[in-house]
Structure 1
Amino acid sequence: MSHASGSETVFTYGAPGLKFGAGASDEIGFDLSQYDVSRVLVLTDPGVAATGHPQRVAEQMAQFGIEARVFDAVRVEPTDESFEAAIAFARETGPWDAYVAVGGGSTIDTAKAVNLMTTNDGELMDYINAPVGKARAPQRALKPLVAVPTTTGTGAESTTICVLDVLALKVKTGISHARLRPTLAVVDPALTMSQPAGVTAAAGMDILCHALESYTARTFTSYDRKAPEQRVPYCGSNPISDVWSENAMTLLATSFRRAVQHGDDPAAREQMALAATMAGLGFGNAGVHIPHANAYPIAGQVHDRCPDFRPVGYPGEEAMVPHGMAVALTAPEAFRWTFESSPERHLRAAALLAPGHGYDGPDALPRVLADLMRDIAIPNGLGEVGYAEGDVDDLVEGAMKQQRLLATAPREVTAEDAAGILERSLELW
């Protein structure tokens, strides 16, 4: 393989240890005993706490001489305030030798932030991605973190990032560093059986977009050559991430609709959990791009612009666009726009997701996505959530702040490009 002078020739791949299968969450006490820990903080949100799973995970550690305590006040769609509250609790009740996150991406992301801020100096904003924060790298190693996802979607158990709303700035952003990646991902499909259909649909769109965005991301060879200390976890599509992304799409093709419409189907739940894990292992290295960049302002500005929107299946009285739904709402138009960068990849993805779909050209993948979104009751574009044409400029401003993500896009994205994608996403079908 030849490369132009100065282009990147190296890609990196990182992943947590993985334990997958029904009953895997019953073995966490044993798993932690291998790390020589004696005090463990289990983090979860009130909804997952009500299922009893976090308490059960905590209690089975005692037989291995491990003291465990449960913090059950994680906020779904976390904010800087909710991160700070969890960090304060961990500091007041610590020190802790390890952390266990039992829940969705919000819980796993909160645990990453708690782990970071109880092992390293400084303030939360020091570590948040630029330009919102200072993008400081952690200097000290973090404690072992076991991530136990109870929703099939975020892939947070595999990644080096945590996402939050910075309330004062009305922006969704994150922290990204290899040290945030969980030590061990324990994926137990049995924990997802009670996931409501609306949550399965939104979180499943997150799986799908992880796979699609990493598959269509710019290739690792398209970057300039970097010194090893300058390489970031998101290195562009590469032969390893492609394998995970394609396999995730193949699983979704047969299980996604079934898991939403027949939530008590163990085989569908297991395939969705496997797809989520595979997509996480892919995008956690290749990266994501335009749909995720757009999702941050879509979710972050909903309180002001769409105060009446309540997603089906989610708890709470506040307006909220779940992360996976926010990602999905501009995905069809984003992939129509990126089609010219790699037509063969977009057509291959459409064929994996809907064999024999009969669509062609730039329309193929958007139409496959729209068909799926209709079938699983995802809103018909931004307009159905409550956004209007007058909101597009502010959404563009928020999306353009996500340069860490947009840098992975296969075409350079201008504000005008972003505005066109958002405007065409007001109504999708």
Structure 2
Amino acid sequence: MPLFAGLDWGGAGHAVCVVDETGRTVGRIEAGHDAAGLATLLARLKRLASPADLPIAIERPSGLIVDVLVEAGHPVIPIHPNVLKACRPRYRAAGGKSDPGDAYMLADILRTDGHRFRPLALLSDEIRALRALVRGRDDLVAQRVALANQLRALLEGFWPGAAAIFAAIDSPIALAFIRRYPTPDSAARLGEKRLASFMAQNAYCGRRSAAELLARLRAAPAGLAGEAEADAKGEIVRALAGLLERLGAEIARLSSRIEHAVAELPDGRIVMSFPRAGRICAAGILAELGDVRERFPTEEQLAAEAGVCPVTHASGKSRGVVFRWACNKNLRAAVTCFADNSRHASAWAARIYDSARARGCKHAHAVRILARAWLRILWRAWQDRAKYDPAKHLAAANITT
């Protein structure tokens, strides 16, 4: 008799429920999240059935527990939390929730609807490493944006000129200026010659002269903070500027490693062959796309995963098309970034974008339309393990000729 298992994972322990084909519970396991607990879990599961014959449903598609189960030979089937939430009223009317109850629900969903879900296919170690680097870099970039906004808001409250003198508050020259002149009093004697010397020392590469920058600094409104308050806020400004400088250096280091890693992968060179894909953007696409072709047997599935095709709601005479919220947001960000860049190097891409804008689409919508068009070609090249060839892209070739 076939068996089905559900696992509700947790930070300290995991609840597992095993049911047979009739839905009867044949085993419940509580395992700690440590070496001994995971070993006990695998041993008890093995007593019920061989690993290959015992599929396990789980909400989270990654992590140590998933790696352990796959390594042991269990088919692991990820089930989206929204599916579990939608199925919850089937099992209880009061809306109660518990870890053993969720484990039973996962096992029973796998029993009744397992044919609708695809077992997890592990990516290669190189792709998993690339994904870790790309997602880690994205998190650091988000932190940099948050810190830069915090620094700008702080400066605009007591030293607006320091926030306005350079275009980007988190640029190296702006951070160096803020650390050197964190308060209005520290820049009271700043003149054109001194500012020019500062710009030369910090290798300023902008197009503004010292006179223009000084005029911009003096045109900003004066802060009203007292001397003690300004000094206190100046210390915070120095701290934030130091954090942003170190964060920028770490992002640059990770970017360099990502660029090298994606160029070494065969699939990376495929993605990089597309117009204006670059290396960082190509790495973001490949990190989410992976190297398991069976994950996306059709280009429609890839487009849905990337969130660049809308969702249709139709009932009777009513029909609506809405934005797709449920998707891989990391993949959508990478694909749309590439699509937006590509229109500056491909006449075909520019025509699709301009046509969408002419129909009244906003910029973000037009970029998603272009990304949907590019995914058809990207999916085909990825499946064929072939680089992008403009000569084979007939629609683009006809425009250029």
TM-score, normalized by length of structure 2?
Answer: 0.26
Greater relative contact order, per chain length (Cα 8 Å cut-off, separation 6+): 1
